[in-house]
Structure 1
């Protein structure tokens, strides 16, 4: 039979291991376990974001990099394609308009390759913030714009 003292020592070792793995600063069993739970939830969220990024990359009609990052007031949107994409800017700007994003600042290059960096801000309509959008919605709209542009440019 395993002694009670041995069980307690084993539990203590496991808690210390859990504490070190999750970078917990807690000292009680409860706080270490809560920190571990938060750590696991954060890992799950990161995996979800990575899976969404992978799914977005698979659906992209041409080799490109798309990054949408939420900012304090709006979004930073970056689109980079290794070739020139005549007319793509118009489709992306139409997507911004449909989302109600005002372009506050942008840099665009369409010469040898397509590169867009833009800051889009969504104005509150009538002081209300009822219809919030997040970076995922903006990314999906830009991907759809790229897909629409791709379909039309293939027909030409």
Structure 2
């Protein structure tokens, strides 16, 4: 068997493996690769969605909930641990969204707890999901530093 035939056989073997891993029913090389690319994108979206649901540092879990109120949002953040600058980071996220803090209760000693009511300065351009994502990003930024 020539070197060229061995390479072709190895490529076919790898394509079949890729086809089985991605659950592709494609037959030609291009379609298998396109299916694999789509599969990878789906996995990436799933990972991104899950990583935004919970921010973890070792075994510490943050819980973030956002409820829509008549004029603004009720934001609750609860963690077993507090980080320096976490409150500032979250408040900066509020500011970036154009939310004004109308009322807040905060505890940042050993644990971190924030209950804040934010009112919109901008007319209906922010929804609860946007607020939640901004708060999660602020937490992630602060906990990674």
**Aligning the two structures, in what range does the TM-score lie when normalised by the shorter sequence?**
0.5 to 0.7
- Structure 2: which 5+ residue stretches go unaligned? 1-47
What is the aligned-residue RMSD (CA, Å)? 1.9
1:57-76 to 2 correspondence within 5 Å? 57-58=53-54, 60-62=55-57, 63-76=61-74
Gaps of 5+ in 1: 1-51
Moved over 2 A (4+): 52-58
Match of 1:138 among 124, 127, 131: 131
- Structure 2 CA distance for aligned equivalents of residues 61 and 101 of structure 1: 26
C-alpha displacement at 1:150, in angstroms? 1.3
Q: Is the 1:61–1:146 Cα contact (8 Å) retained in structure 2? A: no
Between Structure 1 and Structure 2, which shows a larger proportion of strand residues?
A: 2
Q: 1:18 corresponds to which residue?
A: none
Q: Give the TM-score taking structure 1 as reference length.
A: 0.56
* Equivalent runs, 1:1-156 vs 2, <5 Å: 56-58=52-54, 60-62=55-57, 63-124=61-122, 129=123, 132-152=125-145
Contact 2:62/2:79, CA 8 A, preserved across alignment? yes
Equivalent residue of 1:145, what SS? helix
Q: How many residues align?
A: 95
Deviation per CA, 1:44-87: give whole Å up to 9, x if none: xxxxxxxx9855334x1331110001000000000000112221
Structure 1 CA distance for aligned equivalents of residues 110 and 63 of structure 2: 16
